[in-house]
Amino acid sequence: MNITILGTGFAALTAIKKTRKLAPDARITVIAPSKELVYLPSLIWIPSNLRKGDDLRINLTNYFNRQTVEYIQASVTDVSNNGRTVHTDQGDFENDGLIIASGGRFIKKLPGIEHAITPCEGIPAAEKIKERLDNMSGGTIAIGFGGNPKEPSAMRGGPMFEFLFGIDTLLRKQGRRDQFELIFFNPAPKPGKRLGDKVPDAVMKMMAKKGIQTRLGHKMKAFEPNKVITEGDEFEADLILFMPGMTGPAWSQNSEIAKSEGGLIKANEFCQVDGLEKTYVAGDSGSYPGPDWQAKQAHMADLQAEAAAHNLVAELQGQTNFKTFKHELLCIIDTLSHGVLIKRTEKGTLMLPPCRLMHLAKRFFEHLYLRQYK
């Protein structure tokens, strides 16, 4: 049994662990450009120096050895032959079963988007934010996020709230908050609604209390070196942080693999890629049926990866006991000093007020999560 997994992010690593547990004798091959995990949730702490880039880069050599994984350093260019052939820049590789966990990519179509920093692109982006903040004596900082209009779930707004509140806290700790104007912008009139109906108002109250301005409800048009332009407004900004909506991995764009209207790899409730046998997708690469509030986050990637691995092994063994994954949005919006716990399920939303303990819990969870991969 030769199982291939694409990627080294949250979904891929969980898929490895689950697959090895269910199929101890399987040959597991991982194909990815780099043999490291970048722990994206903690990028928010780089500007404040609470974390450095090297703290968040985890070399996976030891983990792959423990899981008896064969690693191939390559970039995927396509998947064909009913999922059995993975094409890469280092040649073609065959498999008996495939899990696609190669992540999504940000839509960089807005004119002038190169003038904005996209924090979740990785460690260099977060380090650039730190450098810019360190060298600013004052000015206006604009922070916002957008979405994929054809794929409502393909957005990552939570981290932008964290960068916003984290920078506010950092500047206050440094005694220079009064020299800065913070502006939050978003095309939605009530951003954060997918976290729960009551969340937008609560978040807006937090912003108002901290003296953060808002520009809401106008579609994005463009960026200039020191300006944000929307259909209803434009304003000056000395530093712009913007998280655009997401779509599928670059290699899938011109592939014949089934894609949703928003460009993500189309899957069913079992994470099985539409129209393909023994081929599954987990994490940001995929588009899944479910509630309109589902989001792209590490927690959901883990849940999808467990289902994908279970179902692939079951299919390879001729079984039909497929499992679906639970829809559960779970996050702590960190402010650098406190944390706001939000949990949304089919039953409703739980949102706790800002609490110092939740900030510490987020740091502790990072420690626990990364320990398994070192």
- pLDDT value for 196: 83
pLDDT at 96 over 90: yes
166, two tokens: 């984290």
pLDDT digits (tens, 9 = 90+) for 292-337: 888 889 999 999 999 999 999 999 999 989 999 999 999 999 999 9
Domain with CATH 3.50.50.60 in the chain: 2-105+247-316, 107-246
- pLDDT value for 331: 92
**Between the CA atoms of 33, 367, 130 and 126, what dihedral angle is there, to the nearest 10 degrees?**
30
pLDDT at 152 over 90: no
Cα(172)–Cα(348) distance, integer angstroms:
35
Does CATH place domain 2-105+247-316 in 1.10.8.60? no
**Which single residue is written with the structure tokens 């030769």?**
2
Whether residue 287 contacts residue 267, with contact meaning beta carbons closer than 8 Å, is answered with yes
Query: How many helices (DSSP H) and strands (DSSP E) are in the chain?
Result: 7, 24
Burial annotation 209-247 (CB, 10 A radius, 16+ → b, else e): eeebebbbbbebeebeeeebbbeeeebebebbbbbbbbb
Residue type, 53: G
Lowest mean pLDDT among 102-106, 149-153, 226-230, 337-341: 149-153
- pLDDT value for 193: 85
Whether residue 23 contacts residue 118, with contact meaning beta carbons closer than 8 Å, is answered with no
Of 154 and 83, which is predicted with more confidence?
83
DSSP string, 50-101: SS-GGGGEEE-HHHHHHTTEEEEE--EEEEEGGGTEEEETTEEEE-SEEEE-
pLDDT digits (tens, 9 = 90+) for 276-291: 999 999 999 999 999 9
- pLDDT value for 157: 86
pLDDT digits (tens, 9 = 90+) for 18-41: 999 999 999 999 999 999 999 999
Cα(54)–Cα(39) distance, integer angstroms:
10
Give the H/E segment covering residue 280: strand 279-281
Cα(148)–Cα(109) distance, integer angstroms:
11
Count the neighbouring beta carbons within 10 Å of the beta carbon of residue 133: 17
Q: Which of 109, 330, 312 is nearest to 223 (CA)?
A: 109
Whether residue 49 contacts residue 29, with contact meaning beta carbons closer than 8 Å, is answered with no
pLDDT digits (tens, 9 = 90+) for 112-148: 999 999 998 999 999 999 999 999 999 999 999 998 9
- pLDDT value for 74: 98
- pLDDT value for 244: 95
pLDDT at 198 over 90: no
Cα(306)–Cα(211) distance, integer angstroms:
43
Average pLDDT estimate for 73-79: 97
Burial annotation 149-163 (CB, 10 A radius, 16+ → b, else e): eebebbbbbbbbbbb
Average pLDDT estimate for 46-54: 97
45, two tokens: 């702490």
Residue spans of alpha helices (H) in the chain = 10-22, 61-66, 123-134, 158-173, 199-209, 298-316, 356-371
Cα(262)–Cα(350) distance, integer angstroms:
29
Overall CATH class of domain 107-246: alpha beta
pTM for this structure?
A: 0.94
